[in-house]
Amino acid sequence: MTNVLLIVFTISLLYLGIATRLLTYIKIFAFQGLLLFGVSFIELTHITTLNLIFILLETIIFKTIAVPLFMNYVIKKNKITRDADPYLPSFISLIIITIIIIITFILSNAINASQISKIYFVVAHSALFAGLYIIISRRKIITHVMGFLIVENGVFILSLAVGNKMPMLLNTGILLDFFLSFLVLGIFVNKIKDVFKEPDMHTLSQLRD
């Protein structure tokens, strides 16, 4: 069952590559949050109940509901245009993300570890590098935050793979989510809009030698 969920997660990364509207991105996030909820619900059987509740709340309330709503609010408040503004056509994005997935797949065959199952490794790293790719290939600041959230999801999956025996680490991973992606980045997007009229990345390139 977790395999199915994780594979669907990977497919959602491909869909992210060709999505052009910001609203689609937000919907993909909510969907990914739901998938992560499923994976952690099935997978994390050996940790204490309190920890489990904490993680489940984090995925379902935070990733599936709060972040998408907050993103929506930021986009509406700052009147950000609805297009994702990629530098490259979506066809090339699709190919690049596919290549990322294939490379992580090949890499994962090189490992022979008993502690971590390969599918987690593949999906986590695909999400990580796909997120980084989204960051460098999109023009808007809000899409950078979205790329960062994809990276976060990748790290969350990786920590799930190890997390069965290490609840402490898992909790710190969740702390990362709470602290940065949600509060600070969102607030700063608002601030940037106050100072600059255009919240695009090219407005943030004045500091140089």
Q: Does 74 bind another protein (CB under 8 A)?
A: no
Give the integer Cα–Cα distance in Å for 82 and 26: 11
Among 151, 174, 182, 186, binds another protein (CB under 8 A): 151
DSSP string, 180-205: IIIIIHHHHHHHHHHH-SS-BGGGG-
Q: Does 130 bind another protein (CB under 8 A)?
A: no
Q: Does 91 bind another protein (CB under 8 A)?
A: no
- Our CB check for another protein shows the closer of 21 and 165 to be 165
Structural contact between residues 155 and 128, judged by C-beta atoms closer than 8 angstroms: yes
Q: Does 158 bind another protein (CB under 8 A)?
A: yes
Plot region of 79 (φ>0 → left; ψ -120 to 50 → alpha; else → beta):
left
User: Nearest 5 degrees, angle CA 21-CA 136-CA 134?
Assistant: 40
Provide, rounded to whole angstroms, the least separation between the CB of residue 157 and another protein.
11
Stretch that binds another protein, among 39-47, 67-75, 95-103, 147-155 (CB under 8 A): 147-155
- Our CB check for another protein shows the closer of 34 and 176 to be 176
Spatial CA neighbour of 181 closest among 58, 94, 6 = 58
Q: Does 168 bind another protein (CB under 8 A)?
A: yes
Cβ-count burial of 201 within 10 angstroms (0-12 exposed, 13-18 middle, 19+ buried)?
Answer: middle
Half-sphere exposure in the Cβ direction for 6 (13 Å, CA): 25
Stretch that binds another protein, among 30-38, 47-55, 95-103, 151-159 (CB under 8 A): 151-159
Q: Does 186 bind another protein (CB under 8 A)?
A: no
Catalog residues that contact another protein under the rule CB under 8 A. 111, 113-116, 128, 132, 135, 141, 144, 148, 151-152, 155, 158-159, 162, 165-166, 168-169, 172-173, 175-176, 179-181, 184-185, 188, 191-192, 195-196, 203-207, 209
